[in-house]
Amino acid sequence: MSSANVKGWPKLTSADEFRFLADLVLKRSGADHTVVNLHDLHTGTTRFANSRIVQNVDTRRGTVTVTVAFDSRRGSASTTDFTAGAIQDTLARAERIAQVSPEDPEYLPPPEPQVFPTPLTSRPETAAAGPARRLEYANEAIGQCRIENLQAAGIVSSSVASVGVAASNGLFAQEERTEGRFSLTVQAEDATGWTAAAHRSLDHLKIQDRTLSAIHKAKRGREVQELAPGRYPVILEPAAVAGLWSWMLWTLDAKSYEKGTSPFAGQLGRQIVDERLTLQNLPGHPDLLGTGFTNEGLPSEDALWIEKGVLKQLDYDRFTAKQQKMKRIATIEAPCLSASGPAAGKTQDLIKRCERAILVTNFWYIRIVNPTDLTLTGMTRDGTFLVEDGQITSAVRNFRFHESPLRVFKRVDAFTEPVEAVTSETGKMLVPAMILRDFYFSSVTRF
């Protein structure tokens, strides 16, 4: 069933309708180049806290953006009004801006038309999900927590979007993208346990299993001790690994690299992390949120970013790529970090290997401290434990860390196979859980 068939539901813009909207612009544009972008989103979230529904929302927002260029003078305007008059007015606004804009030496015409890959970006069960389904899933998590006399806070959300790009040179792409999300914080007095998931299919969120896992963590966290800050071996669960790797991905831009203002300056082709680690873009992977194309109209394809610890790829804008004579621009919207060699089965197996270590469920509020070496800071959150002789012996108060992923991922002791990971501050990735040596916790907080 497509979203358009659900009774009472707003109909999202189809490929044919987007082509019609785009033609309204492209046929009237007097610019040398014109690009039309579509983002038509229908999304809903059921939010709960203290084991009751505190927010329950549903929003339909359609946006059309028109970008035009006269020579290299460019302007962009957008609207949420899809009437013909408003779309044409948006074109006129973009043209007015471009006509008085200075020339942009980095301007490039839109990419040539091409055949885009078609990963499975939309799942009917997610597109069809409405408030009742979201409420049902939220109630499942709340109910399990109530049985344990614990407090639940979290969200269940589902969305479906029609996304498209069309240009005056014939470039055209449109696809439907769905996404379901679940996250849960279980509170057991002062202790918390957390879990999160995101998937194209709302039915793949494994709400029952994840809720039990968060309950288990919260209950384990009731007896807490404070440890001194310092260097510890750590077992990072996948969400914690993803939190650190996200900052690697966000700082790989090629322009900064070329201008010497990148933490990776001079490192292309060199080993930057443990030689067993490989980072790829896998937009066709069923458990990642891959897409068929980018907003600019470039194809999303498999790409190798780090191979056996060696930096192979940078995040190129089209101008820098042309300058560097890059034939193809790699994207990284569906990252998968894997490690070669014998892998542990689960995080529990990593715990069994440790004589003494800190187990970190998740990091929170990660920010750059030093952009030159990518030193980051952040806090542990929602499940930080002391591991002794292969088992969790107590919860510990949360730490602040100061570390660079460029340093700590050279100190990998063991790892699992990559698994799904998502946090409130990062996109979705596949990453292993890992044991790292000498991770620096700089201070401790009060809980």
| For helices 15-26 and 84-100, angle between their N-to-C axes, nearest 10 degrees | 50
Shortest separation between residue 388's beta carbon and another protein, angstroms: 25
Which CB atom, from 331 or from 375, has the smaller least distance to another protein? Answer: 375
Q: Residue 49 interacts with another protein (CB under 8 A)? A: yes
Residue closest to 354 by CA, chosen among 236, 222, 213, 196: 236
Per CB under 8 A, contacts with another protein among 126-155 are 131-132, 135, 139, 142, 151, 153-155
Q: Which amino acid is it at 241? A: V
Cβ 240 vs Cβ 363: under 8 Å: yes
Shortest separation between residue 230's beta carbon and another protein, angstroms: 14
Which CB atom, from 281 or from 398, has the smaller least distance to another protein? Answer: 398
Which CB atom, from 219 or from 353, has the smaller least distance to another protein? Answer: 219
Which CB atom, from 99 or from 114, has the smaller least distance to another protein? Answer: 99
Q: Residue 15 interacts with another protein (CB under 8 A)? A: no
One residue of 14, 51, 271, 323 binding another protein per CB under 8 A: 51
Per CB under 8 A, contacts with another protein among 286-325 are none
Distance CA 244, CA 362 (A): 10
Shortest separation between residue 132's beta carbon and another protein, angstroms: 6
Distance CA 183, CA 197 (A): 6
Per CB under 8 A, contacts with another protein among 409-428 are 424
178 φ, ψ (degrees, to nearest 5): -115, 160
Stretch that binds another protein, among 160-168, 237-245, 349-357, 362-370 (CB under 8 A): 362-370
Shortest separation between residue 153's beta carbon and another protein, angstroms: 4
Stretch that binds another protein, among 103-111, 168-176, 274-282, 426-434 (CB under 8 A): 103-111
Shortest separation between residue 391's beta carbon and another protein, angstroms: 27
Per CB under 8 A, contacts with another protein among 109-128 are none
328 φ, ψ (degrees, to nearest 5): -145, 140
Per CB under 8 A, contacts with another protein among 192-211 are 192, 194
What's the Cα-to-Cα distance from 418 to each of 279, 345, 392, 430, rounded to whole Å?
11, 10, 23, 5
User: What value, to the nearest 5°, has the Cα angle with vertex 160 and ends 299 and 15?
Assistant: 55
Distance CA 66, CA 58 (A): 27
Reported residue count of the chain is: 447
Q: Residue 267 interacts with another protein (CB under 8 A)? A: no
One residue of 208, 209, 393, 447 binding another protein per CB under 8 A: 447
| For helices 207-220 and 131-147, angle between their N-to-C axes, nearest 10 degrees | 30
Distance CA 73, CA 98 (A): 5
One residue of 6, 377, 390, 411 binding another protein per CB under 8 A: 377
Per CB under 8 A, contacts with another protein among 61-80 are 61-63, 74-80
Distance CA 110, CA 167 (A): 7
Which CB atom, from 368 or from 392, has the smaller least distance to another protein? Answer: 368
What x/- string results for residues 231 through 250 when contact with another protein is judged by CB under 8 A? Answer: --------------------
The alpha helices in 236-384, defined as continuous H runs, are: 238-250, 254-259, 318-323, 347-353
Which CB atom, from 194 or from 305, has the smaller least distance to another protein? Answer: 194
Handedness of CA 205, 207, 212, 214 (dihedral sign): positive
Stretch that binds another protein, among 23-31, 273-281, 296-304, 439-447 (CB under 8 A): 439-447
Shortest separation between residue 442's beta carbon and another protein, angstroms: 7
Which CB atom, from 45 or from 162, has the smaller least distance to another protein? Answer: 45
Spell out the residues 6+ positions from residue 169 whose beta carbon is closer than 8 angstroms to its own: 33, 109, 110, 112, 113
Applying CB under 8 A, what is the total number of residues that bind another protein? 83
